[in-house]
Amino acid sequence: MPYERIESLSDPRLDIFRNLKTTNATRDSRLFVAEGPTVVERVLKSGFEVRSILISDRKFAGFEGRLPTGVQVFRLRQDLAEELVGFAFHCGVIASAVRRPAPAMSDWIPGSGPSLIVAGDRITDPENVGALIRIASAFGASGVIFGDGSADPFSRRVLRVSMGNGLFLPVVETADLSATLETLVRDFGFRICLTLLDPAAFALSTFRFPERTVLVLGNEYDGISDAIQCLPSDRLTIPMLNGTDSLNVAISSGIFLHQYRSHYPGGHA
């Protein structure tokens, strides 16, 4: 497999991989970075345009057979690769690829029948964003929507935690989550379900989900914003014992999504 050995870190073609631990420069660019053999391989299978691959000498022999033709492949010594990315480069392979424009909702939402959409309101922790995407995929969600203030769903950490599932599942960012939710209700027949710590909310076990549900999960610290709570919706909670006051947002999402899927066993169209 053709590749190019790089001996100098000043090569500008490496800029997309530089100091990845301390920066997230890709959010404001057309590119994103995927790390690790499994995620890189999924990027290669996803149809996203891959611009370049960086691979360390230590990983080269084991990954060489999966390297594609027609993509720049840069091979570096392990010490140079670690100096470039800014952390212990145990995974040994990383790729840059081109972001796609957000798909129109009509392109990915089923026209009729059951459909589950997960919406994140200001989910700031990349690990939670990645877990939400992976859980949404596992339970057959039609797509995931993140409101303004959420972590970049195509950041290196999010892609790693989600194991690349966001490459195959529609993942949309919106600057106005309230307006997007209203569109889902008005134009696509969804019902909004809010997940809250509220004793007046429906206990999850007693609630029958609508066929077309958009499930909203809130910020890790202050929950769902007041603006979204003002929308017509069903309010759901998970009763907890032993004085437990809350669950991690990703864990909560798995419980809610499992309950929805128990009502509608088929996945999305």
Q: For residue range 140-195, what is the model confidence (pLDDT) as tens digits?
A: 999 999 999 999 999 999 999 999 999 999 999 999 999 999 999 999 999 999 99
- The four Cα atoms 235, 237, 243, 244 give a dihedral, to 10 degrees, of -120
pLDDT at residue 269 greater than cutoff 70: no
Q: Across residues 201-214, what is the average pLDDT?
A: 96
Distance from CA of residue 18 to its chain's centroid?
Answer: 22
pLDDT at residue 3 greater than cutoff 90: no
Percent of the chain with pLDDT strictly greater than 70: 96
pLDDT at residue 111 greater than cutoff 70: yes
Give the whole-angstrom CA distance, residue 176 versus residue 166. 21
Which position has the higher pLDDT, 66 or 210?
A: 210
Amino acid in position 221: Y
For residue 24, the model assigns a pLDDT of 60
For residue 47, the model assigns a pLDDT of 92
For tokens 């429906």, the residue is: 202
Length of the chain measured in residues: 269
CB atoms within 10 A of CB 171: 24
Query: pTM for this structure?
Result: 0.92
pLDDT at residue 125 greater than cutoff 90: yes
Which of 4-8, 103-107, 202-206, 263-267 is least confident?
A: 263-267
Give the whole-angstrom CA distance, residue 222 versus residue 69. 48
Instruction: Please give the C-alpha separations between residue 222 and each of 42, 128, 225, 250, in angstroms, as whole numbers.
Output: 35, 15, 8, 15
Average pLDDT, whole number, for the chain? Answer: 92
H or E element: which one contains 146?
strand 143-147
pLDDT at residue 114 greater than cutoff 80: yes
Q: Across residues 40-60, what is the average pLDDT?
A: 94
Confidence band for 206, pLDDT divided at 50, 70 and 90: very high
Structure tokens at 172: 């949309």
Distance from CA of residue 169 to its chain's centroid?
Answer: 9
For residue 21, the model assigns a pLDDT of 72
CB atoms within 10 A of CB 88: 10
Assign 3-state DSSP to the chain and report helix, strand, coil percentages, each to 5.
35, 20, 40
Confidence band for 19, pLDDT divided at 50, 70 and 90: confident
Residue 244 phi/psi, 5° resolution? -70, 125
Structure tokens at 92: 């040994």
For residue 23, the model assigns a pLDDT of 56
Give the whole-angstrom CA distance, residue 128 versus residue 124. 8
For the chain, domains (ranges, CATH) are 4-98 (3.30.1330.30), 110-263 (3.40.1280.10)
For residue 199, the model assigns a pLDDT of 85
Alpha helices in 139-247 (DSSP H): 156-162, 177-188, 226-229
Burial class (CB in 10 A: 0-12, 13-18, 19+), 230: exposed
Give the whole-angstrom CA distance, residue 171 versus residue 150. 12
Confidence band for 267, pLDDT divided at 50, 70 and 90: low
For residue 246, the model assigns a pLDDT of 84
For residue 25, the model assigns a pLDDT of 61
